Structure 1
Amino acid sequence: MLFQPTPPSSSLPGSSAGSGAPGTSGDWHQVMSFQQPQGPTPPNATRRPVIRRVLLWSAVVSVFGLAALAMTLIVTTAVGLQAAILGMLSASLALGIVIPLFIWVDRLEAEPARLLWFAFLWGALISTLAALLLNEIGVAVLAGTGADPLVAGAVLVAPLTEEVAKGLGVLLIFLFARREFNGVTDGIVYAGIVAAGFAFVENILYLGQTFLEAGAPGLVGLFIMRCLVSPFAHPMFTVCTGLALGLVAHRRRASSAWVVLVGLACAVFLHALFNYSAVAASEYYLVLFLVVQVPLFIAFLLLLRWARNRESRLMRDALTTYGMAGWYTPAEVAMLASPGERRRARRWAGGVGGKQAEKAMEAFQDESGELAMVRKHLISGGPDPVWQAREKRILDAVTAHRRVFVPQA
C-alpha cells in the first residue's frame, strides 16, 4: 500500500502536480485507496545495537582478513612473489572489463557498496579457499576409480564445488539482506560480482603458474585467452544461480527451492561444459569455442540487456502509480526509466543550479529507483509497516531533492 501524505506541489518545468488535472493530486484519491502506515519502531535506547554492530563487523573483518592472509600464503607459496604480482596485475585488467558491465546493469537501482564489496570478497577469498579444499578432496576420492585426475577434477569436481561455493555467497545476501535483493537484476549483479572476485584470484594462480613454466610469452598467451577472450566465463555460470534467486525474491517459500536448485544445476552444467572443451576435448577447443562458448556469451549479453530493460519497465510501471497520486509528472517517470534521459537530467540540473542541484538530481534518481523496489515489495507482501515507513521516508526525500533542482518561481 502507498503512503498517504500530501503530494508535492512542484516538479520539473511543465509539472501538473497539484493542479487537479486527471491523474494528478487533485483526483488521486479516486484512482485507488491508500493506507496510512504505522510509524517506524522507536530506536533502542540501550547500547546493545552498537555492541551487536561492532561484534558483527569485527567478525566479518576477522573472517575476511584471515581468508586474505591464507590466500596470500597459498598463492605466494605456489608461484612466488614475483609471479603472483605479475598475475595480479594481469588479472586486474579483466576486472576492468567485467565489473563495469555489472555496474551498468545495476545503474537504475544501484545496490549498496557494502554488499557489492561483500560479494567480491566472498568470491575472491571464501569461495576460492573452499573450492581449493573441496577440489583436493574430490580429486583424491576420484583417484581411486582410475579416472584421469586432470579431467575428472576439471569436469566433474571443480564445476560442482566452485559453483556451490560461489552460490553460497549470493544465497547469504539473499537471506540476510532481503531488502536489497529485489529481483532478477539484483540476483544477476550479486552473482556476477561474486564470480568476478573468484575469477580474479583464480587468474592470479593460473597466470603466475604459466609465467613460471613458460615465461612472458606463456603469460601473454594465457592472459589473452582467460582475461580478454573469456573474461565472463565464471560470471556466465554463476549468474544462473543469481537469476534463480532473483526469480523467487518476492515469494520466499520453501516450495520455491527447486527453482534455485535448477539454477545451480545450470551453473554447474555450463561450467563443466566449458572445462570439458578446454581440457578433455582440447584438440577440438576452437570448434567448441565457436559452437558452444560464443553462443553462450551472446546469450549472456542478451540476458543482461533483458534484465536491464525489465528493470526499466518495472520502474516505469511502479512510478506511474505514484505519478497517478501526484508524486511524479509523466516527464519525470519517463526520465527515471531511461538511463540516457537520467544523464541528460543530471546535466540539466547542473546547468540550472550548479553542482548542488546536480547532486540533488542524482539523489532524486537513486531514491526513486529504491521507491520502485519498495512498491514491488508492498504489492507482493501487502501492507507491511516496515516497508510503508520506508516508503514514507523515500517520498519525503524525493520531495526534498526536487526542491533543490526545480527553479523556484
Structure 2
Amino acid sequence: MATSPPYPTPPGGPAGAARRHAHWWQRKAVLYGALITLLALSGLVILALVREQTGTRGFLVGLGLAVLPVPLLIAAFRWLDRVEPGPWRNLVFSFAWGACAAALIAIVANSFATRWIATATADPSGADTLGATVIAPVVEESAKAAAVLLVFLFRRRDFTGIVDGVVIAGVTATGFAFTENILYLGTAYGTDQLSGERGLASLTAATFFVRVVMSPFAHPLFTVLTGIGFGVAALSAEHRHWRRVLLPLSGLLLAMGMHALWNGSSSFGEYGFFAVYAALMVPAFGLLTWLTLWTRQRELRTVRAELPAYCAAGWLGPPEPYVLGSMRARRLAREYAAHHFGKPAARAVAQYEAYATSLAFLRHRGRTGRAGADFVERERELLHELWRRRDVARPSLAYAALAAAPAAPVRPPWPVVPAPVPGHGPATAYPAYNPYPASYNPYPAYNPYPGHAAHTGHVPLGAYGTRPASQPPHGPYGPQHAHNPYRT
C-alpha cells in the first residue's frame, strides 16, 4: 500500500502546537449561535410584518407564487459555481440573510425614510417616488451587500474570485426578492379581494407577470455588481488595500445606480418601464452572463495550467489536469464512480475534483504573489484531502480521461504508455510526467515559508519554488527522492 509523502512542519513551530485560547465570545460556536439567532429573530419579525400587511390569505397566496422562481435561480447560481463549488452553508446563510435580515432592514428603513420625507417636504405626494428612486436603492443594496462582506471577511477561503462573488451576491438577492415578492403579491391579492374580485384577479396577475415572469433576475442583477467588485478585490494582492476597498465600493455604487434607474422607470412615461427593461436590463443581464461564463472557462484553464506541477511530484496522475479542466470529463468521472462503486464513491470523486480545483487556484495565487501567510498550511491540507480519496478518484478520472479524449488520430494531451521511473520503483498506470524542465521555477519571486526574516540566500527547489537556506535540504513534502505515491 502506498503511503503519503511526508508533510512539512509549518513555519512558526511544529504542527499542532498549542495556541492561545480565544475568549468565549470569539469561539465559533458562540459566533454561529449568535448569527443563527439574529437570522431567526429577523425571520420572525419579517414574517409578522408581512402577514400584518397582507393578511393570512394574502400571505399564503404571495408565498405560493413568490417561491416559484427561487429553485430556478438557486440552480442557475449553483451551476455557475460548479468549477469550484462552495459549501452549502454559505448559500444557506446568504439566502437567509437576504430573505430575513436584509428584508427587515429594508422595510423598516424605507418606511421610516418615506414618512420622514412626507412630513419634511411641502409636497407629500412625491415622498413615495423619492423614496423608491433614492432611498430604497441605497438601503436595499447596502443591506444585501452586508452578506457578501461577511462571507468575504469570515469565509475567505471560500471566496477566491469573481464567480464566488456573483454566486454569493446572487443568492442573497434571490432571498431578498423572495420576501419582497411575498409582500407585493400578497398586497395585490388583498386589493383584488377588496374590490370584489375572485381568485387571481387582474392586479395579482399583473404583479406576478412583472415581478416573477419578466424580471425575476432584477434584484440578483443589481447585487451581482457588488459581488463582482468583491470578486475582483479577492483576486488582488493583499498589500493593495486601496483596491480591496474601492472595488467593492464601486460595485455597490453601480448596483445602487442601476436599481434607482429601474425603480424610477415608471416615471419616464407610459412606456418607460419597457424602455428601461429593453435598453438596460436585458443587455446588462446578457453582459453579466457572458462575463460569468468567461470567468468560469478561465478558471478551467487555470486548473489545466497549474496542476501538472503536482503530477511531476507524484501527487496527481498525468491525465488528471486534463480531466479536472473539463466539465464534461468531470461529469464522466462522477458517473463512472457512481455506476461501479456507488453514490458514496461519486461524492468522493466530486470532493476530489473540488479540492484539486482549490489547489490549482491556491498555487496560481502563490505563483502570482497573491497567496496569504497560510499558503503552505492550506496546500498541505488540500493535498491530504486528495490523498485520502485517491483510491476511488483515480480510476474514475482515468476512465474519464480516455472517454473524453480527442478521437484518433489526435493523441491525448498526456502520455498513455507506462514508463519506468528511475529510482521510484516499477511503472504503474500513472507514468512519470513532468511538463516542466529541470531549470523551471514557477515561484520566481515567492517564498512559501513566510515569517523568515531573511529572504536572500535561497536555493532552488524544483517545482515548489524557493526555500530559505536555513531550512533542511528538502522540499515542502520531504526529500525529493523519498516518495513515490504509486510505489507498491
Quick one: which of 235, 241, 254 aligns to 1:254?
A: 241
- From the superposition, tell whether residues 47 and 160 of structure 1 become closer, same or farther in structure 2 (CA, over 3 Å): closer
Cα offset, 1:211, TM superposition:
0.7
Cα offset, 1:36, TM superposition:
6.8
Contact kept in structure 1, 2:348 and 2:392, CA below 8 Å: yes
Q: Distance in 2 between matches of 1:72 and 1:148?
A: 29
For 1:391, the equivalent position in structure 2 comes to: 379
For 2:363, the equivalent position in structure 1 comes to: 375
For 1:88, the equivalent position in structure 2 comes to: 63
- From the superposition, tell whether residues 74 and 279 of structure 1 become closer, same or farther in structure 2 (CA, over 3 Å): farther
What is the identity, as a one-letter code, of the residue corresponding to 1:233? A
For 1:24, the equivalent position in structure 2 comes to: none
TM-score (norm 2): 0.71
Contact kept in structure 2, 1:159 and 1:268, CA below 8 Å: yes
Cα offset, 1:45, TM superposition:
9.5
For 2:210, the equivalent position in structure 1 comes to: 225
Contact kept in structure 2, 1:196 and 1:234, CA below 8 Å: yes
Is 1:65 the counterpart of 2:65? The answer is no
For 2:163, the equivalent position in structure 1 comes to: 185
Cα offset, 1:101, TM superposition:
0.7
Cα offset, 1:389, TM superposition:
1.9
- From the superposition, tell whether residues 142 and 46 of structure 1 become closer, same or farther in structure 2 (CA, over 3 Å): closer
Q: Which has the higher mean CA deviation after the structures are superposed, 168-177 or 375-384?
A: 375-384
Partner SS, residue 224 of structure 1: helix
- From the superposition, tell whether residues 382 and 132 of structure 1 become closer, same or farther in structure 2 (CA, over 3 Å): closer
Task: Please state which structure has a larger fraction of its residues in helix.
Answer: 1
Q: Distance in 2 between matches of 1:131 and 1:383?
A: 37
For 2:136, the equivalent position in structure 1 comes to: 158
Cα offset, 1:40, TM superposition:
4.0
- From the superposition, tell whether residues 133 and 334 of structure 1 become closer, same or farther in structure 2 (CA, over 3 Å): same
- From the superposition, tell whether residues 332 and 203 of structure 1 become closer, same or farther in structure 2 (CA, over 3 Å): same
Contact kept in structure 2, 1:40 and 1:386, CA below 8 Å: no
Contact kept in structure 1, 2:24 and 2:30, CA below 8 Å: no
- From the superposition, tell whether residues 296 and 383 of structure 1 become closer, same or farther in structure 2 (CA, over 3 Å): closer
Contact kept in structure 1, 2:94 and 2:168, CA below 8 Å: yes
Is 1:235 the counterpart of 2:220? The answer is yes
Q: Distance in 1 between matches of 2:228 and 2:303?
A: 19
Quick one: which of 98, 105, 111 aligns to 2:80?
A: 105
Contact kept in structure 2, 1:120 and 1:193, CA below 8 Å: yes
Q: Distance in 2 between matches of 1:319 and 1:150?
A: 56
String of CA shifts for 1:54-89, please: whole Å, max 9, x gaps.
322221122111101110110110001111111111
What is the identity, as a one-letter code, of the residue corresponding to 1:349? A
Cα offset, 1:148, TM superposition:
1.1
For 2:453, the equivalent position in structure 1 comes to: none
For 1:31, the equivalent position in structure 2 comes to: none
Cα offset, 1:332, TM superposition:
1.4
What is the identity, as a one-letter code, of the residue corresponding to 1:159? P
Q: Distance in 2 between matches of 1:281 and 1:237?
A: 23
What is the identity, as a one-letter code, of the residue corresponding to 1:234? H
The unaligned stretches of length 5 or more in structure 1 are 8-33
- Paired residues, number: 379
Moved over 6 A (4+): 45-51
Cα offset, 1:291, TM superposition:
2.1
What is the identity, as a one-letter code, of the residue corresponding to 2:230? L
For 2:437, the equivalent position in structure 1 comes to: none
Q: Distance in 1 between matches of 2:46 and 2:300?
A: 40
Q: Which structure carries more relative contact order (alpha carbon 8 Å, separation 6+)?
A: 1
- What aligned pairs does 1:7-86 form with structure 2 within 5 A after superposition? 37-38=10-11, 40-42=15-17, 52-86=27-61
What is the identity, as a one-letter code, of the residue corresponding to 2:101? I
String of CA shifts for 1:106-133, please: whole Å, max 9, x gaps.
1111112221111111111111111122
Cα offset, 1:198, TM superposition:
0.6
Q: Distance in 2 between matches of 1:219 and 1:259?
A: 40
The structure number with the bigger radius of gyration is 2
What is the identity, as a one-letter code, of the residue corresponding to 1:400? R
What is the identity, as a one-letter code, of the residue corresponding to 2:185? L
String of CA shifts for 1:137-171, please: whole Å, max 9, x gaps.
33234333437122211111111111111111111
Q: Distance in 2 between matches of 1:59 and 1:387?
A: 30
Partner SS, residue 116 of structure 1: helix
String of CA shifts for 1:358-392, please: whole Å, max 9, x gaps.
23322211221222233244345577563312211
Cα offset, 1:324, TM superposition:
3.9
String of CA shifts for 1:297-321, please: whole Å, max 9, x gaps.
2223212212322222223223233
Contact kept in structure 2, 1:154 and 1:279, CA below 8 Å: no
Q: Distance in 1 between matches of 2:40 and 2:249?
A: 31
What is the identity, as a one-letter code, of the residue corresponding to 1:86? V
- From the superposition, tell whether residues 292 and 382 of structure 1 become closer, same or farther in structure 2 (CA, over 3 Å): closer
For 1:124, the equivalent position in structure 2 comes to: 99
- From the superposition, tell whether residues 405 and 176 of structure 1 become closer, same or farther in structure 2 (CA, over 3 Å): closer
Contact kept in structure 1, 2:365 and 2:371, CA below 8 Å: no
Contact kept in structure 2, 1:64 and 1:121, CA below 8 Å: yes
For 2:197, the equivalent position in structure 1 comes to: none
Contact kept in structure 2, 1:151 and 1:280, CA below 8 Å: no
TM-score (norm 1): 0.84
Partner SS, residue 148 of structure 1: helix
The unaligned stretches of length 5 or more in structure 2 are 194-199, 396-427, 430-488
Q: Distance in 2 between matches of 1:51 and 1:297?
A: 41
Root mean square deviation, CA, Å? 2.7
Q: Distance in 1 between matches of 2:96 and 2:9?
A: 41
Cα offset, 1:187, TM superposition:
0.8
What is the identity, as a one-letter code, of the residue corresponding to 1:304? T
- From the superposition, tell whether residues 155 and 40 of structure 1 become closer, same or farther in structure 2 (CA, over 3 Å): farther
String of CA shifts for 1:162-186, please: whole Å, max 9, x gaps.
1111111111111121121111111
- From the superposition, tell whether residues 282 and 112 of structure 1 become closer, same or farther in structure 2 (CA, over 3 Å): farther
- From the superposition, tell whether residues 156 and 393 of structure 1 become closer, same or farther in structure 2 (CA, over 3 Å): same
For 1:12, the equivalent position in structure 2 comes to: none
Q: Distance in 2 between matches of 1:382 and 1:201?
A: 39
Cα offset, 1:270, TM superposition:
0.8
- From the superposition, tell whether residues 72 and 350 of structure 1 become closer, same or farther in structure 2 (CA, over 3 Å): closer
